[in-house]
Structures are given as C-alpha cells and as structure tokens.
Amino acid sequence: MIELDARRLMCPMPVIKTQNIIKTLLPGDNVRVTCTDPGVMQDIPAWCRINGHTVLKTEEIDHEFILTIEVGND
C-alpha cells in the first residue's frame, strides 16, 4: 500500500497529488491518502469515478480524512 500525506493542503491540491501518484502506479495497486481538508470526502471520490478508480474505504480519525483507493485501468 502506498501512503500519500496530503495534510494541510487545500483543494485542489489533495486531488492533484492523488492524481500524480496514481499515474505512477499499476492497476490493482492501492493508495491511502490522508488529508485535513474535509472537501476531499467529496472531491476525491468524484475524481475517482470520472477516472475509473475505486474508493475502497473512507475514514475520519482525529480530524483527518483518510481514503483508500484502488487504481483502475484508466
């Protein structure tokens, strides 16, 4: 599992950082993105739907938003 720290970044940077790391991965790989901007809970899943990736899990722990994404065949 690849870990992406997008804490203290505001929209659209968490989505851009997620996009950039996913470009380096293979279909079926997983990436866990940790953010502090609550907007990512809508923005990243929307980006994943458009680009063929799957959000496997979303969590909120201690004011951090964590999304686990499976890379699709974009």
CATH class of 2-70: alpha beta
pLDDT along the chain (74 residues), means of 10: 97 96 97 97 98 98 97 87
Per-residue model confidence (pLDDT) at position 72: 97
Catalytic, out of 2, 9, 11, 25: 11
For 4-24, b where at least 16 C-beta lie within 10 A, e where not — what string?
A: bebeebeeeebbebbeebbee
**Is 11 an active-site residue?**
yes
Domains of the chain by residue range: 2-70
Per-residue model confidence (pLDDT) at position 9: 97
Per-residue model confidence (pLDDT) at position 74: 63
